[in-house]
Amino acid sequence: MNTLCLPAKQLFSYELTGKFKAPSAEWKHQSFPLTNYELIVMTEGILYLNYNNEKFVVKNGEYLLLPPSPSWRQGFKPSYCAFYWLHFSTQPGELPLILTPDTVLPPPTRENYFTIPQTGPIPKPEKVVILMKQLQDIVRSEYPSIALDAMSTSILTELYGQLTLVLPVENYSENQKQIYLDIMDYIKTNISRNIKITEIAAAFGYNEKYISHRFAQICGIPLKQYILKTKMDTASFMLIDTNEPITEIAKAVGFSDSHNFSRTYKKLTGLSPSEYRNTFSKRMLFHV
State residue 288's pLDDT score: 42
State residue 145's pLDDT score: 96
* Residue ranges of the chain whose pLDDT lies below 50: 287-288
- Residue 12 CA: distances (Å) to CA of 7, 21, 90: 9, 26, 5
State residue 171's pLDDT score: 58
CA distance 152 to 135: 7
Tell me which of 1.10.10.60, 3.40.50.300, 2.60.120.10, 3.40.630.10 is the CATH number of domain 174-279. Answer: 1.10.10.60
State residue 97's pLDDT score: 78
Is the CA virtual torsion 68, 74, 77, 81 positive or negative? positive
Reported for 175-184, long-range contacts at CB under 8 A and 24+ positions apart, including other chains, are 176/214, 176/218, 177/218, 179/204, 179/206, 179/211, 179/214, 180/214, 180/215, 180/218, 180/219, 183/211, 183/215, 183/223
Which residues of the chain form CATH 2.60.120.280?
Answer: 3-164
State residue 107's pLDDT score: 65
CATH dotted code for 3-164? 2.60.120.280
